[in-house]
Amino acid sequence: MKPRTGRGSTLTVREQVHQALSVLGGPAAPKLISAVHEAFFTGPVLPRRMASLRRDEERSFTAGPYQRPYYICAALTAERLAPGRGLLAVSTWPLERRIVGPLGPRTDFLTAAVHVAQQVKRIVSCGEEPSEPAWQLLRRYASNIPGATGPRDRERPEPGRVRRAALAELAVHEAADRADRDRAAGRAREQLTESQRLFGMVVK
Amino acid sequence: MTTGQEQESGSAGRLAAVRGAAAPQGFSARKIAALLDNPECGRRKLLDAAGVDKRVLADRVGYPSLFGQSPFAIARAAAFAEIVRRDGFAELIRLLRDTLNFSLAEAGVADLADPAIAAAATADGLSAQEARHRETVALLRDAALGTQPIAVFGSPVLALSIGGVPAYLEPDAIVHREGGRFTVVGIKAFPVIDGQAPAASLTAAVKQQAVYQIALRRNLADALGDDADSVADEVVLVCPENYSNRPIAVIHNAKQQADAIALLLDRLGGVDRLVADLPAAADFDLSDDGAGAARRSPGELATALESVGARYLPTCRANCDLAGFCRGEAERAGSPALLGPDVRDALPGIMSIDDALTLINDETDPSPDQAEAVAHLRRAARLRRESLSRTEGVA
């Protein structure tokens, strides 16, 4: 029996995590995944429920590789190609997307800001009102990106402006970050097994 | 710098025997700052160096420690630290840009609490802390040499020798500007209201960061052979603003505290002599024998404690788990230290308050080493009598 959670959600935890990660477009920690699910879907996902998810997915992959359309897997640290602390990712993303170098946390944050802003904008353009958790999430990004808010839109940041500001800072990091990701991904392809490429190298 | 291997061959073996079979407690910046509040206290120095849990010890000898943070305060501190750390230290990066003029490009982050660091090094026979320390030093050196663009080092591990015993310390973060200096960052949950932090919390926090600052300077000097100007005198404290959870940065110059602590650290005598002076039968083993019975009775522990000289001060009660025991001891002896360090220092050679009172009224000549103190006492007593009789006269 697969565990089900959330207010009225009929999806499994892995499906909910997949939904939230698809909005963010990059590796994320359980608390952020929960906040995104609460903002745009059917309520929070208890981080406790995500605790064993990566391990369960790895077991399932080892038992029969690629039996599922996607796996919730790890982000890999650029230095050691080990699973990034507490980070979840989706197996269908390019390997480069799952690499976390020194600039990775920042660029993943900015990429997520772009996607969250787009999501809020989509809701607004459909003539609907985004939920309070959605505004809260957008504020969390807007308040930490230079130029993302003006003096009058701190409470309800303008999504287009947040997106432009995030893209502007992303452009600053892009070259250095891409080089880190490409290098590490190249190493991972050479050195790691298929399972390690998804779930990281663990020194025992 | 003392390494783990040197520790094993030095007094550490004997210190481990003093601690017995219980798990050691590491040094922390808070402990070091408290130790340096009363650097002459051999009892605290020995117990801290041996890694004895003073809280449990105090409980066992019948003086349960009254302080310690409430679980609510600890939970609140953890929740606030989580906000500062999440999203790749996004809140901290915003504050660094606003207050220390970090450029947009300076946003690289290193997570030194990553378990993979410890895992990779246990294979080399290092402890988790040694491994994280080695990685910290390597990354700091790369940053100083400009080969790795990292601006925020999260949960780094620094090493500092305390009276010949190596200690590993974990600041919340260290930040670095390209081609510039390293700055120690502390994440603290006390609120800054209208730009004002509570004075006592602020002082304690700055002192703690000053300890990290010294460790950072020394580690960088060991790694690069030159520490000139590489560590800023300022420390950054990240606190909640007003009644919100929004982080705000408070920049504080810690030079004075760091200089004072560095001086005390260098003067802090070794613990070797303390260990050597300990009676052979005395130890502070808090473990049980596996069947639930304690290895040492409260009486044995108290006797062992009494065999190491303490230096009780009224301020110990805010700093040390064992203060209740030492205060009880000072009370039984009627020690002048009960009245504070000023009184104690004014009465050299006089062991108790009763002795002092006897000597005031006693017409006999005091012994030569007490002469000066007794002269002071008698003069003070005369002044008091005169002033009292004058007040009575007026009344």
> Which 8-state DSSP code applies to residue B368?
G
Kindly determine whether residue A102 and residue B150, on different chains, have CB atoms separated by under 8 Å: yes
For B12-69, what is each residue's pLDDT tens digit?
677 788 888 888 887 888 888 888 788 888 899 889 888 888 988 999 999 987 766 7
Task: List chain A residues with CB under 8 Å of B149.
Answer: 102-103, 176
Chain A closest-CA separation from residue B88 CA (Å): 5
Q: Which residue of B has its CA nearest to A80?
A: B116
Is residue B6 predicted with pLDDT exceeding 50?
A: no
Number of inter-chain CB pairs under 8 A, A vs B: 70
pLDDT band at B361 (very low <50, low <70, confident <90, very high): confident
Percent of chain A with pLDDT over 90: 82
pLDDT band at B89 (very low <50, low <70, confident <90, very high): very high
Q: Where are the alpha helices (DSSP H) in B100-198?
A: 115-122, 128-145
Interchain contact A179–B (C-beta under 8 A):
no
pLDDT of residue B229: 72
Q: How far apart are CA B249 and CA B195, in angstroms?
A: 10
Task: List chain A residues with CB under 8 Å of B107.
Answer: 103, 106, 173
Among B382, B348, B344, B381, CA closest to B366: B348
What's the token pair of residue B286?
Answer: 């808090």
pLDDT band at B11 (very low <50, low <70, confident <90, very high): low
Give the mean pLDDT of A43-70: 91
Kindly determine whether residue A173 and residue B105, on different chains, have CB atoms separated by under 8 Å: yes
pLDDT band at B395 (very low <50, low <70, confident <90, very high): low
> DSSP 3-state assignment of B297?
coil
Q: Which residues of B345-356 are buried (b: 16+ CB within 10 A; e: fewer)?
A: ebbeebebbebb
Give the mean pLDDT of B118-127: 78
Kindly determine whether residue A31 and residue B86, on different chains, have CB atoms separated by under 8 Å: yes
pLDDT band at B151 (very low <50, low <70, confident <90, very high): very high
Mutate: best of B84, B85, B86, B87, partner A, most A CBs <10 A = B87
Task: List chain A residues with CB under 8 Å of B150.
Answer: 102
**Between these two residues, B364 and B108, which has the higher pLDDT value?**
B108
What value does the mean pLDDT of chain A take? 92
pLDDT of residue B170: 95
pLDDT of residue B9: 43
Burial grade of B369 (CB within 10 A; 0-12, 13-18, 19 or more): exposed
Burial grade of A102 (CB within 10 A; 0-12, 13-18, 19 or more): buried
Q: How far apart are CA A68 and CA A14, in angstroms?
A: 12
Q: Which residue of B has its CA nearest to A110?
A: B87
Interchain contact A146–B (C-beta under 8 A):
yes
- For the ranges A40-44, A109-113, B183-187, B314-318, which has the lowest average pLDDT? B314-318
Mutate: best of B109, B117, B148, B176, partner A, most A CBs <10 A = B109
Query: What does pTM read for this prediction?
Result: 0.83
- For the ranges A165-174, A176-185, B319-328, which has the lowest average pLDDT? B319-328
Is residue B185 predicted with pLDDT exceeding 80?
A: yes
Percent of chain B with pLDDT over 90: 36
Task: List chain A residues with CB under 8 Å of B91.
Answer: 144
Is residue A9 predicted with pLDDT exceeding 70?
A: no
Give the mean pLDDT of B293-310: 88
Kindly determine whether residue B114 and residue A104, on different chains, have CB atoms separated by under 8 Å: no
What's the token pair of residue B292?
Answer: 């639930």
Of the candidates B107, B117, B120, the beta carbon closest to that of A173 is on: B107
pLDDT of residue B1: 41
Q: Which residue of A has its CA nearest to B151?
A: A102
Of the candidates B86, B114, B149, the beta carbon closest to that of A77 is on: B114
Q: How far apart are CA B104 and CA B112, in angstroms?
A: 23
Is ipTM strictly over 0.85? yes
The highest-confidence range among B50-54, B279-283, B364-368, by mean pLDDT, is B50-54
Phi, psi dihedral angles at B168 (to 5 degrees): -105, 130
Q: How many CA atoms does the CB half-sphere of B136 hold within 13 Å?
A: 30
Task: List chain A residues with CB under 8 Å of B88.
Answer: 104-106, 108-109
**Between these two residues, B27 and B388, which has the higher pLDDT value?**
B388
Is residue B160 predicted with pLDDT exceeding 80?
A: yes
pLDDT of residue A3: 46
Interchain contact A108–B (C-beta under 8 A):
yes
Q: Which residues of B60-90 are buried (b: 16+ CB within 10 A; e: fewer)?
A: bbebebeeeeeeeeeebeeebbebbbbbbbb
Task: List chain B residues with CB under 8 Å of A86.
Answer: none
pLDDT of residue B68: 67
Kindly determine whether residue A32 and residue B114, on different chains, have CB atoms separated by under 8 Å: no
For B124-146, what is each residue's pLDDT tens digit?
788 888 999 999 999 999 998 88
> Is the Cβ–Cβ distance between B50 and B19 less than 8 Å?
yes
Kindly determine whether residue B87 and residue A140, on different chains, have CB atoms separated by under 8 Å: yes
For A67-114, what is each residue's pLDDT tens digit?
999 999 999 999 999 999 989 999 999 999 999 999 999 999 999 999
Q: How far apart are CA B30 and CA B235, in angstroms?
A: 16
Chain B closest-CA separation from residue A127 CA (Å): 30
Of the candidates A29, A105, A140, the beta carbon closest to that of B109 is on: A105
Task: List chain B residues with CB under 8 Å of A102.
Answer: 108-110, 148-150
> Which 8-state DSSP code applies to residue B367?
P
Of the candidates A80, A83, A109, the beta carbon closest to that of B90 is on: A109
Kindly determine whether residue A146 and residue B97, on different chains, have CB atoms separated by under 8 Å: yes
Q: How many CA atoms does the CB half-sphere of B362 hold within 13 Å?
A: 14
